Structures are given as structure tokens and as C-alpha cells.
Chain A
């Protein structure tokens, strides 16, 4: 099998294995010195999440926790972390590509304690996948290796088309020759080589259906762009892939979502990082990404511009905001990275109108309108929020 495995894959593998080994062997050093076994792991709490103004990223703070085996309350988690580390390491050196579910099953077994009277006490190494998933995150933070770097696979969700060629494994893929389909962004985007790219910018659409419509309409060919969909909340691979396009190829990134707080949050995850997983932002976030729309101004117009929708269209397309939408909007308004003039205007208009809109509504006005008027016009006039 090994001759079919690509070189980048092999290199990534040995890099990750070395790092894992190095980190976990420090525990053995401690043991040989007769010191208590302690792992220092940055804290993954909201309180230890810092918004880096300059780099415009959500990052983990300085706070570290010491996970000590000799601390009764930590002993189980300590054991789980080392167990998971060893399973991942074993998979790496054996040329395997486990998913997080595989890892869960590989590590799950019972430890049976039998007392002198023959009475047994049984305990599982972990019970639910939630537990082992959480340990994987600890290992990512402990070793500074993302799961993608450790060749742990997850379900592919993001898709991409455009005039570009890339190398994945031993194959060159031409993303302009995908027919009506698209290339699924692989769970290990760091192993992709960009071979040739002919594009001016990247457009990310939240909705898979809108992505397909734009693709069939030949949008990316006409406007020389790379078209991506996250199909809802973006996964890590899509975010990393986008980040690489932006960072390595210097392509501007525009994001198109529904006009509601949920859409804003998707934009925020692409741009800043997610709150619960801020440790990965450094490698996954795209701080330059622009929010293209759909904005409240597009729906209702502003003193400076005319609305894209007529009165009649508005009344049939607009959905009334629910209680939860309002609550979410107020939360988002409090995030420091939304505290800019344009975002405050956007959010305030939403709170005032209490209205939301799906991108599909723009497409119902006519695919041609969406593809050849709305999107290009907004990009050209720089009508976006940064």
C-alpha cells in the first residue's frame, strides 16, 4: 500500500508522530527523575479566550492548567489523554487514517479491578464519544498539532470549484473540470499543493443550493473566482482551505450568507474563529474575509444607496425575526470584534426592523439578478463590511 501513499502525506505523518512522541516522552522524563507526572495544557475556557486586535484573531490566552496524575480529580482524564495520544501515535506510524469515531472505539475498553475477595469494580476508559472527542482537543492544545496534521479524518462537507489545479495525494485535480459536481475539500487541506490558480477572488456561499446555482450559471468562469460552499456552519477543513487561499495566494475573500444573526456568526467563524475552539484560530481563521451580504442595507436601502428589493418583493421575501434571533443579535453585538461602526449599523437596523432574509430570496428574484448583478456590483462598489 505504501507506494501509493503520497510524499506529503508521509512527511506530515512523521512530523506529527515526532511531535506527539516528543511531548508524551516528557512524561517519562519526569518519571525517571522521580517527579510527579504533569501535563501543561493551555486552558480552553471562555475566560482564557483572547481577541487579538492586531491580528484580528480569537486566540487562547496565557493561562495553562497543570494536569497532574497524582491529583485524584485529574487522574482519569490524565489516563485518557495519554491513552488517546498513544492511539493517535500508533495510527500515525502504521499509516492509518482514523476518524474521531474510530479513535473512540479503539480506545474504549473496560478496566476491571478485582479485590482480594473477588469482587470486581468495572470502569470504561471512556463512555461516550463526547469524552474522547474532548480528549482529542486536549491533545491538539497540548502538542500544538491540529487533528488534520495528525491525519485524523472527518466527514467532508465543504466543496470548491474554480479555475485552479491542485495536487492531492499523488493526483493533480483540475477544479475547472468537475462537471456539475464539485471537489470535496479533504479533511487534511494542509497536504494539498496549489499547482496553478487563475482567479481574482474567492466567494464563499453559506448555502449549498445557491453554490450549485451559481456553479451551473457559470459564475466563477465569468468573474474569475474560486467558488466555495461550507454548506452551513463551516468545518475545519473548509476554513483551513480558505485561509490558505487567502494567505498563500493573496486572494481576497468574500462571504455571502443569509441576512440574520446566524449568517453573521458563520461569517465570524470564518474570519475570527469559533469561541469554543479558539485554539485552532491561528491556523484556521481568515481575518481578511469580508462580509458581502446579504446586508440589511441591501434589503431596506440606506441614505447612501437604493434597496435591491422593491416594496412588494420585500413584503413577500422577508421573514419576521423570532425571539431567539433577537437574543442572538444582542449577544453578537457584545462581541468585541463586532464593535465596529458598520456592524453596529447593520445589527441596529436588524433590531429595528426585526426582519431576516435568506439568500435564496435573492435567487428567486432571478438567478441572473443574483449572479450577474447583485454579487458583481457589490464587489465592484466595495459594498461590504470588513
Chain B
């Protein structure tokens, strides 16, 4: 368990206070949803990434009658936060433990801080954090705000108590201006969809109306957590390169830098790339000029012989867990999922997973219900502008045996990547990237082929059953009618003759129609009466 994370300050900004909509805080309803989402995703990153089965508690309470101020609390049983980094983790924008290459839910290091900034824009109370790292002897608590002009945390209170029970985890509460009536359905949808792909987590949710919903843990099986990997040369830009170089020792050469810091680069490859860039391999990397850096990036992007990026950094959910989640939530007739093989775009590895659920309790509608996920986060807003929607819209479901006018169909698509190409910092829709689009299409088609097999089988069975019931319905009537010709008015003979004819007819139908034993059982469980 890697309980320790690296924390680095990478850039100051009060930019997001002025542009809250960029981070998804455009109005009270959306802000409420967004704040909840940031906290829940941090909670999950603190648990399953570290192989802890998540137990997450979410409580929203209304605290003011005049203004719509809500207290939002999210509590997890994760790895906790070391007390000395808590103020910066919540109070300094673009300070993150996540600026490494591995698939996590949050990425930009600004989500929760944007929520904090939004919180203090409309009310006075600071945010409250209680946390205990794994094996910590004490439980720490903080109350803090962000000093917007200095991009620094302001600490209002701090304290600690003994940790007698071995508790670890984090609880964050913040007061925000919200709009529960408008946010309600999205919030519930968000929790439901999160639960679908984390069936190994349990959630407790209490809404401002006092309704409590429990989402029980369905399995103890967790996906393999992602590994940290070095960046792939294809995915590098000048800013990242500068940042990496700033952390090098003074005497590191360009060649050593490439070999040590990037995947798929050995001695020989490094020399070829440097030659392509027209540089001296023995030059100290910190001495490179901007112009030389630019040439190096170009060479890295255009070098033809790198091995593809390693998918080790990716963490898929896996077909089993997807099927489990869909089954539990929708109680469908059919469920199936596929995890595709890793692919890459622009130096970033990615994997597409697709789950399909059909029939049962799924509410039929003109278009399939689409569940989009990126790095295990559900995407709720901006559905129609997402590349997933574009692909789903083009699928001809009739080709897969779905003839319904109204489709009782759920299509779930999960994209995991070390870099998800979001359309905006609000992280609500995935951009049209050709490689990804193609892979999503192939994934849906692969999953649909199994659905088709199921549908064909189902149709056959339905027809056989329908025929069977038709005969079942008519055979007694027919036997009775025919017995009249045989018994010639001798009524006492009728029941016996009728039964004989009836049994022969059932035998006939069963042999001629190749009725399976299973259906025959069904056949026998029905009763026919005459009125």
C-alpha cells in the first residue's frame, strides 16, 4: 500500500475564482453537483487506488432558512492526508498529489479547491477537514479558507485528538450556496452511476429532505490499481519537459535524461532521437535553450520507432464488475461487457470498456440510455456533445436483433487513459479523437455481437413457447370435439376417449415441434379451463 504521496506546488492562480464556470460551478444547482462530485472522486481515489474497499458517506443538510446554504459532507475510509500537507491540499490552487502519470479520477489538482473557492464566494464559514493517515496515532482537524489574492490557505482552527480505534480516512464538510430542487435528479443520477461501476464500494447518502439511501457493497473484488509509469515520449509537451528538467540534477546529460525519465527509451533510441533533434547527447539537460527544447519535443513526437505506450498505468473496471453493477442497478434480462485491448493516441495509452444491458426492468425509450464514464467517473452533463453519443447514435440496433420501437437498452462506455481528452475543465464530455472514436465503435460492436446471439436465442424460445401455448390452448377443445365422433352420444365413454386423444396430440406436438424438456415442463405447468 503506497500510503505516501508526493506533493508539489506547481503554479499559483486565482483564475478559477473569476471563471468558476470553467470548473463546472456555473450556477447553484450545477455547483452543488460539482462540489459533491469532486469530494466523492477524491474519496474514491483515496480508497480503491490504494486497495481499500471504499465506504463512502455523503450527507447534504440545509443550514439556513433565508438563503439556500447547504452543508455538504463526504467521508471516506481512505489513506488519509498527512497533516502538514492538508492546508496546501485544500487551500492552494493547482497543488496536487496527482501530478504523476497514472490513471486517477481527479487530475488537474484544482477540483476541490474550485469548490472551496465557490464555497467562500457566497457565505462565511470555512471548510472543515478531519483526517487520519493510515497508522496515524492522532486524528487531525482543520478549518480553513483560501486567501484568493495570495493563493494561500488561511487556517482558522487546527487540532488533533487521540486515534484509539485505528481509524484512517478523511471527512470534508463545506458550506455552499446550492439549489437542491434543480440539482436533485443529477445528484442521484451521479451517485447511481458511480455505484454501477464501483460495485465493490458501499455508499450512504442522506439528502437535504432527510431521505437516506444505502447502496450496499456487492463484491469484495476490486480492479487492479493503476501503476505509476514514466511518460511516453509521444505524449510530451514543452511545459511538461521543462517541469521534468527542473527536477533533474545539474550534471544530467540530455541522453541520461531521456533514458531515465521516459518509457520505451533505451541508450540506442535516445541517441537516435537526439540526432534527429540535432543536439549533443552529452549536453547538460538544464542548459538547453527554448529553441533546443522545442526541437527535442518535435523529434520525440515524430520519431517512428518507439514501442507503444504502456497500459500498466491504466486501471480497467473489468467485464465482471461492469456486468455486476449493471445487473444490480437495472435488473435486466441480458447483460454483457467487454474490456478491449490497450490502444494509444498521441502517446497516451487508453482502454475502452463497453457494457450492454437489455430488457427486464429497463425503461424502454426511443434512444438507448447511455452511461458514459472516464477513468471511473460518470459523466452526466453535455451528453449529446460527447463522442460516445456520436458513436451510439450511429449504431443500427436492428442489425443486432433488437426490433423494439422503444429500446429497453443501456449502453455503458468506460474510457480509461492517463489523459482523457475532455472538451472542458468541467470534465463532462469526451472530445472526438479519431482513435478513441474508432475503439468505442469496435467495443460496442463487439459487445453487441453477444447481445445478438442472446436475442436470436430468445426469439427462438419465445416463438417455441408461443406455439406451445397455442396448441396447449386448443388441444383440450379439439380432443373433446373429436371424441364426440367416436363415442356417438355414449357420454360415459367421453372422458376416457378424450383423454386418450389429448395425450396423443400432446405427444404429436412435442415430437413434431422438437419441444425441449424445459419447455415441456412449462407446458405442463399451465392449466386450461373452459367457461
Q: Which residues of A contact B (CB under 8 A)?
A: 20-21, 24-25, 27-28, 31-32, 34, 36-37, 69-70, 72, 75-76, 78-79, 82-83, 85-86, 89-90, 93-94, 109-116, 121-123, 125
Chain B residues near A121: list those with CB within 8 A: 469, 473
Chain B residues near A114: list those with CB within 8 A: 526-529
Contact A82 B530 (CB under 8 A): no
Interface centre among B471, B507, B508, B522, by most chain A C-beta atoms within 10 angstroms, is B508
Interface centre among B470, B474, B501, B526, by most chain A C-beta atoms within 10 angstroms, is B474
Contact B531 A93 (CB under 8 A): no
Contact A36 B512 (CB under 8 A): yes
Q: Report the nearest A residue to B483, measured CB to CB.
A: A86
Please, how many angstroms separate the alpha-carbon atoms of A110 and B486 in the complex? Answer: 24
Contact B504 A32 (CB under 8 A): yes
Chain B residues near A28: list those with CB within 8 A: 482, 485-486, 501
Contact A112 B530 (CB under 8 A): yes
Instruction: Give the 3 A-B residue pairs with the shortest CB-CB distance, closest first.
Output: A86-B481, A79-B474, A110-B531
Contact A82 B531 (CB under 8 A): no
Chain A residues near B484: list those with CB within 8 A: 86, 89-90
A34 touches which of B508, B513, B522 (Cβ 8 Å): B508
Chain B residues near A79: list those with CB within 8 A: 474, 477-478, 481
Main secondary structure of the interface of B (DSSP, over half): helix
Please, how many angstroms separate the alpha-carbon atoms of A113 and B113 in the complex? Answer: 65
- Residue contacts A-B, CB under 8 angstroms, 30 given: A20-B485, A21-B485, A24-B485, A31-B501, A31-B505, A34-B507, A69-B471, A70-B509, A72-B467, A72-B470, A75-B474, A78-B474, A79-B478, A79-B481, A82-B481, A89-B485, A93-B488, A94-B489, A109-B530, A110-B531, A111-B473, A111-B529, A112-B528, A113-B526, A113-B527, A114-B527, A114-B528, A116-B522, A121-B473, A125-B477
Please, how many angstroms separate the alpha-carbon atoms of A109 and B512 in the complex? Answer: 29
Chain A residues near B2: list those with CB within 8 A: none
In the assembled complex, B64 has its CB within 8 A of some CB on chain A = no
The smallest C-beta distance from A273 to any residue of chain B, in angstroms, reads 31
Please, how many angstroms separate the alpha-carbon atoms of A338 and B471 in the complex? Answer: 48
Given A27-B482, A34-B511, A82-B481, check contact A113 B474 (CB 8 Å). no
In the assembled complex, B371 has its CB within 8 A of some CB on chain A = no
Interface residues of B in 481-531 (CB under 8 A from A): 481-482, 484-486, 488-489, 501, 504-505, 507-509, 511-513, 522, 525-531
Interface centre among B473, B477, B481, by most chain A C-beta atoms within 10 angstroms, is B481
Please, how many angstroms separate the alpha-carbon atoms of A109 and B530 in the complex? Answer: 7
Contact A113 B485 (CB under 8 A): no
Chain B residues near A34: list those with CB within 8 A: 507-508, 511
Chain B residues near A37: list those with CB within 8 A: 505, 508
Contact A112 B529 (CB under 8 A): yes
In the assembled complex, B472 has its CB within 8 A of some CB on chain A = yes
The smallest C-beta distance from A93 to any residue of chain B, in angstroms, reads 5
Interface residues of B in 432-471 (CB under 8 A from A): 466-467, 469-471
Chain A residues near B529: list those with CB within 8 A: 111-112, 114
